[in-house]
Each structure stands twice: as structure tokens, then as C-alpha cells.
Amino acid sequence: MIKLKGIGHVNLRVGDEAASKRFYRDILGFIIAEEDPEHGGVFMTLGDNFHTLDIRGHDDPTTAQRPQRGQIGLGHIAFEVHSYAALRDAYMHLVRNGVEILRATNHVNQRSFYFADPDGNTLEIYYELPYALELFASGRSDDDEALPVSGPDEPVPAWLVEDWPGPEMAARIEALRRQKEHAAD
């Protein structure tokens, strides 16, 4: 059995390397670790490793096919945030910076929203409940629920400002936290 540690990085071929670099750096907060014009690519990190994302300009972007929903291959790249408040902050930051939120979903164990980079690659930002694997050991029943989204001059959707998770799920999470804390003693 192979023992993978995690996903190291994603390599994206982009139409306009400078525009993509600005988007991932200035809008999403990536840090440039290295630019390698000889070998191509801008290596970008979120700070945990040398690079999480490698963007490279396409040789002929005018003839290149753009990503399409439903195609074979990469569907989207998802980025996790540490709290529900951080999810709300990320949503508001993107809207303030002119990024269109395409859709949002309540995935039962996480809530997320989707948007696109300058080349049309779908990106997701999500917050996952603590202990999600234990809470949904038998699966989450895939009861996804579409959530409303808002535009630049509209208020933030109600689902982003409510307390989430609700009291019942919060109690289950707290019980798991105590159980794990007790087992560690």
C-alpha cells in the first residue's frame, strides 16, 4: 500500500500568467515562492510548504480550450478555511474585489461557495465541521442544499451570518471534543 502524505501541489496551465499571478496573490492571498522563467511557472504557497500552486502560461492561449463544467478532468480546486467566520470573510472579500460567486452549497458537514479564476477554472472555499469524519462515519447522505448567493451591492446571504452549526450539531461536536480530550489523558 502506498502511504501518501497529502496533495503536494496543483499545476495550472493559464492563458495570462501575469493576470493569474495577480489573482492568486492579490485576491486569494498566495505568496510567491519562486518564479522560474527558464523552466516556466510561478510557484505559489499558502505558507505551509514550498508550493501549493504552480501556474504556467499556455504557449498559445488564443487557441486553447477553456475549462467547462462537466468535462473530464479537473472539476475544481477547493481551499479550506479554519472557521465559519473566515468563510464569511472570504466571501465578502471576493465580492468586494469583483469576483462573482457562482453558487453556494450546504454539504451537511461543510458549507462552501464556488467562483472562477481568470481562466474559468472553478475554485471552492469551504469550512468543514470539526470531527466531520467521526460525525459522518456512515456518510453524509449527500443531502446537498443549494444556498443563495449575492452580488456586489447586495447584503451577505443570511446563511453566512447565522450561527452554524445549529445547537444539536454543536452539542455533538462538543461531546466528540470532550471524548477525544479524555482519551488523550
Q: Classify the phi-psi angles of 40: left when phi > 0, otherwise alpha if psi is within -120 to 50, otherwise beta.
A: left
**55/81 same-domain check:** no
Please choose, from the candidates 140, 141, 131, the residue with its C-alpha nearest in 3D space to the C-alpha of residue 170. Answer: 131
179 falls in which pLDDT band (50, 70, 90)? very high
What pLDDT digit, counting tens, does each position of 68-107 carry?
888 888 889 999 999 999 999 999 999 999 999 999 999 9
**180/90 same-domain check:** yes
Quote the pLDDT of residue 33: 96
What pLDDT digit, counting tens, does each position of 126-169 carry?
999 999 999 998 888 778 999 999 999 999 999 999 999 999 99
Single residue among 11, 33, 60 that ends a domain in this structure: 60
Evaluate whether residue 68 is within a structural domain.
Answer: no
CATH number at residue 26: 3.10.180.10
* Mean pLDDT, residues 14-28 taken together: 96
Evaluate whether residue 151 is within a structural domain.
Answer: yes
**119/153 same-domain check:** yes
CA dihedral 44, 50, 51, 52 (to 10 degrees): -120
**20/80 same-domain check:** no
**b/e sequence 115-135, b meaning 16+ C-beta within 10 Å:** bbbbbebbbbbbbbbebeeeb
Quote the pLDDT of residue 141: 79
pTM metric for this prediction? 0.92
Q: For the ranges 36-40, 55-59, 74-78, which has the lowest average pLDDT? A: 36-40
CA dihedral 58, 61, 65, 71 (to 10 degrees): 40
Quote the pLDDT of residue 76: 93
Evaluate whether residue 65 is within a structural domain.
Answer: no
Quote the pLDDT of residue 65: 87
Is the Cβ–Cβ distance between 43 and 34 less than 8 Å?
yes
